Chains A and B, each alone.
Chain A
Amino acid sequence: MLKKRLIGVITVKDGLAVQSIGYRRYLPLGKPWCIAENLDRWGADEILVLSIDRTEKNIGPDYKLLSSLAKAKLTTPLIYGGGISNKNEANKVIHAGADRICLDALLHERPRLVREIADVLGVQAIIGALPLSKIGDGVQWYNYRTKKSGKFTDELIKLFSDGMMSEALIIDWKNEGRLNSFDDSIIKNVPFNVPQIVFGGISEQSQMNKLLACGSVSAISVGNFLNYKEHAVQKIRLSLSKQNIRSALFESD
């Protein structure tokens, strides 16, 4: 039976892994490939690397980072997001070591190119990132470059509804980096029906249990909270043993 997933997230800024807090403050953590190696060894279901400054700086995907991750010989699926602006770059990112890609800016600025990328890589390889916050009775997506929130456009809704991306990465950007603070009301207000990967302020077993029980949630993502202790991924799996996720697996098994 297909399992729901526990994804380890590495946020990268200026080539360094950082702890991101509310999309505003960034604390340095170290080399991204070191964290990736840990997540790989601990058995994360996927590793998501988000290079958050590439599009803003207009410098394209971080191929140097991907090369360092490839040298780490990870055997865990790798998702890369950051700076992808066309199908050639998307393809090159996959050649360079990623297995799936994550798009944010392109969804809003040039949605036609998302369809072109889907024609080359396949929809299964594409995740759409949506930093969201609750505003009034609904949710709005956050443009991290202009630092403004806005309503979903018809074009964005159509892109998801047409199935151009396999999953949506729903980010509670305001609570990112804060303990036990993911606002699960935002996932109920998304205006299209696509499997959801949730991220932002998820740190406690009770939250994870509640989120994994939601039918729309296919995966939970955890960032720096996984770095606080050795084998954090395995400990989480043990605490969630009644949920439909992979069991904890140790080398001695």
Chain B
Amino acid sequence: MDSVTFRIFRFDPETEDSPRYQDYEYELEPGVTLLNSLNTIRSKQDATIAYRMSCGSAICGSCAMRANGHAVLACKTQTSELVKDGVIQIDPLGNMKVIHDLVVDLEPFWGSLRKVKPYLQPDTTNNPELEREQTQEQFLLIDDVTTCILCGACFSDCNALEVDENFLGPATLAKAHRFIYDSRDSKTEERLEDISELHGVWDCTHCAECSTRCPTETKPLARIEEIREAAMKAGVHGNNGARHVLGFRETVGKSGRLNENYLPPRSVGFFNIPGLLGLLPVGIRMLMRGKNPPLIHHSIDKVDEVKKIFSRFEEYRK
């Protein structure tokens, strides 16, 4: 059996000034999970290490933490897959304050969820006596996103949340998706409008950390993309993000290429004076270096093929 060094983040703000790492030597048994390993270390070497756990079977979401800098769900991660040069570094989740060792303050996470009306809002004017009908296909539209166990791994590693604590974050956006795509919900348009506002779905930077860390089928980035698709289809276009998409549609659909001189003003809004003024500095800087995109925008060769594809736009919409 190999010996592995567990380098565990330790911090008790009650008694310590600053965090430290403590090393534990551990005999790696085949097939053990990270949670098994931590429990063994805690039971045999140091009972003071604090971390959350409950079900041990990847359904309660308690045991998310960072291994080698990236969020994982401890109970379903094989310890052997985490070893790097004989060491595994364990840290608390990111984007949340540390309470004690690997236990973080989840209040921002729960608080974010509550912002998107995370409950079904059916049409109550006709409450059927039996179950509301739904096809299996409609059920499958929300099947993946309902696997979310609210573990916080996505929230932890989200790049956008790192710089903006008001961003709704991937789990909350996924939760919003679950109701936007539920055929039994009657407030879809309202939800799409709310989610398109500042700090909402258009603030996601696509870094894909969330989907990469997600231990279930939820894969928040895919849900975020689906919300945007739904918002575009529903005509919720009064924001920079949606106008940015329209700008792509308009220039790529017309010339096969993005018109970079057109896109920024289209995104901020042609009549949005402060927005347009905000674009000036970078425009001028680039102009001075000769870096600005050529004023005459050329189409690609055989652009008619692309135009033909785009002419089928509505036909191929979800």
Are A and B associated in one complex? Answer: no
Binding site for B on A (CB under 8 A): none
Interface residues of B (CB under 8 A from A): none
